[in-house]
C-alpha cells in the first residue's frame, strides 16, 4: 500500500506578518523536495475541509466559537503576540483540521499504509481553550479523537518530537488514559512546560526534555530508553506523530543539533513498533521547522522512511 501525502496550495494562504517564522515558504520548500522523482510513488491528495464543529472533538464550544468569530476582514487579529490570524487563516485552519481527519480515515480503513499531512497552521500548542504558539486548533488532538469516535480506536499514541513542548496536546489529554502522549523537546524553551515530572492523571504523559546543544546521539538514547518502550507497552491502535523539524541543527528558534538522518531513524523506530502493535498505522502531521533547508531535507528523510513501510 502507498503512503498518503496531503498537500494543497491553500495552506500557503495563511499569511503572516513580515518576518514571522511560520511562513508560507515553509510549504514551498517541502513541496520542492517531495516533488522529486524519488517521491513519485506517493498517493497525493488535496486538502479536505472540516466542518468547524469538528474542532469540538478536542476543544469546548466556546473556544471554537471564539476562533470562528475572530477572523478579520483585513489586516490581522492577534490571539497573542506570536499568533496572528489573517483574513484567510480560518479557512486554511479548517482545511488543516479536515486533512488530519482524512489522513486518519485513509490509514484506519486500510486505504493507505500511512500518511503525512503537509499543512499549516500547526496545532500542538493549542490548549483546550487557548490559541497560542502559532496554533488555533489542535490538529493532532482532533485526529486522535476522530480515530476513537469514527474508527473505534481504543488507544491512540502521540509522539511529539517538535523542539517545543506540545503543551496543548498535553493539556487536552492530561486526564485521559486512552491516549498516550510522549514528547521530546528542548528545555528551557517556549512554552515552558514539559518537565519530566508532568505525567498526567493516569501516567500517560511522558516528557523527556533535551538540553541546549544535545545532538542525535542523546536524542536517540532518550527515545530508546524512555519513549519507545512506553509506546510498545501501550499497544496503541494508531500512532500519531507531531512532526516538528525545528530540532534540526540549522533551525533558528532552538538549540538542538539533530540532522535529517536522526528524524529518519526516529521514523523507522516508530514504524517498527507500529508494524507489531497496530498494523503499521501511522499518521504524521507537520508542526514546526523554520529553517527552509533543514525543514525540507528533514521532511524528505521522514517521508522517504514512511514510504518504506
Check: CB of residue 126 under 8 Å from CB of residue 135: yes
Residues 39, 31: Cα–Cα separation, whole Å: 11
Give the count of alpha carbons within 13 A of 174, CB side only: 12
- Determine contact, residues 53/67, Cβ cutoff 8 Å: no
Count other C-beta atoms under 10 Å from residue 76's C-beta. Answer: 15
Q: What is the DSSP letter of 239?
A: E
User: Chain centroid to CA 252: how far?
Assistant: 19
* Of 14, 59, 124, 125, catalytic: 125
Task: Please tell me the number of Cα atoms within 13 Å of 278 on its side-chain side.
Answer: 28
Tell me which residue of 37, 38, 75, 33 sits closest to 297, measured CA to CA: 33
Q: Which three cell numbers stand for residue 279?
A: 498494523
Would residue 165 show up in a list of annotated catalytic residues for this protein?
no
Which residues are designated catalytic?
125
Amino acid at each position: 500500500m502507498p503512503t498518503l501525502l496531503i498537500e494543497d496550495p491553500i495552506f500557503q494562504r495563511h499569511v503572516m506578518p513580515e518576518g514571522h517564522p511560520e511562513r508560507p515558504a515553509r510549504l514551498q520548500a517541502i513541496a520542492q523536495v517531495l516533488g522529486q522523482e524519488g517521491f513519485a510513488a506517493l498517493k497525493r491528495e488535496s486538502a479536505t475541509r472540516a466542518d468547524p464543529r469538528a474542532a469540538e472533538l478536542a476543544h469546548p464550544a466556546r473556544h471554537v466559537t471564539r476562533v470562528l468569530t475572530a477572523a478579520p476582514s483585513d489586516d490581522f487579529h492577534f490571539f497573542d503576540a506570536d499568533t496572528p490570524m489573517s483574513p484567510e487563516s480560518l479557512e486554511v485552519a479548517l482545511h488543516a483540521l479536515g486533512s488530519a481527519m482524512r489522513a486518519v480515515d485513509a490509514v484506519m480503513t486500510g486505504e493507505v499504509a500511512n500518511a503525512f499531512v503537509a499543512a499549516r497552521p500547526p496545532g500542538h500548542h493549542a490548549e483546550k481553550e487557548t490559541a497560542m504558539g502559532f496554533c488555533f486548533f489542535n490538529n493532532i488532538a482532533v485526529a486522535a479523537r476522530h480515530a476513537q469516535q469514527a474508527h473505534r480506536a481504543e488507544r491512540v499514541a502521540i509522539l511529539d518530537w517538535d523542539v517545543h513542548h506540545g503543551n496543548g496536546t498535553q493539556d487536552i489529554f492530561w486526564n485521559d488514559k486512552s491516549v498516550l502522549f510522549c514528547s521530546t523537546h528542548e528545555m528551557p524553551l517556549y512554552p515552558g512546560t514539559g518537565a519530566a515530572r508532568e505525567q498526567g492523571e493516569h501516567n500517560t504523559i511522558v516528557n523527556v526534555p533535551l538540553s541546549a546543544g544535545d545532538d542525535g546521539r542523546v536524542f536517540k538514547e532518550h527515545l530508546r530508553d524512555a519513549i519507545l518502550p512506553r509506546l510498545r507497552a501501550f499497544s496503541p491502535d494508531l500512532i500519531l506523530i507531531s512532526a516538528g523539524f525545528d530540532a534540526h541543527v540549522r533551525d533558528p528558534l532552538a538549540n538542538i543539533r539533530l540532522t535529517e538522518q536522526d528524524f529518519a531513524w526516529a521514523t523507522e523506530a516508530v514504524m517498527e513498533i507500529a508494524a507489531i502493535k497496530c498494523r503499521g498505522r501511522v499518521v504524521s502531521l507537520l508542526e514546526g521547522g523554520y529553517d527552509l533547508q533543514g525543514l525540507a531535507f528533514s521532511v524528505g528523510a521522514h517521508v522517504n522512511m514512511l514510504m518504506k513501510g
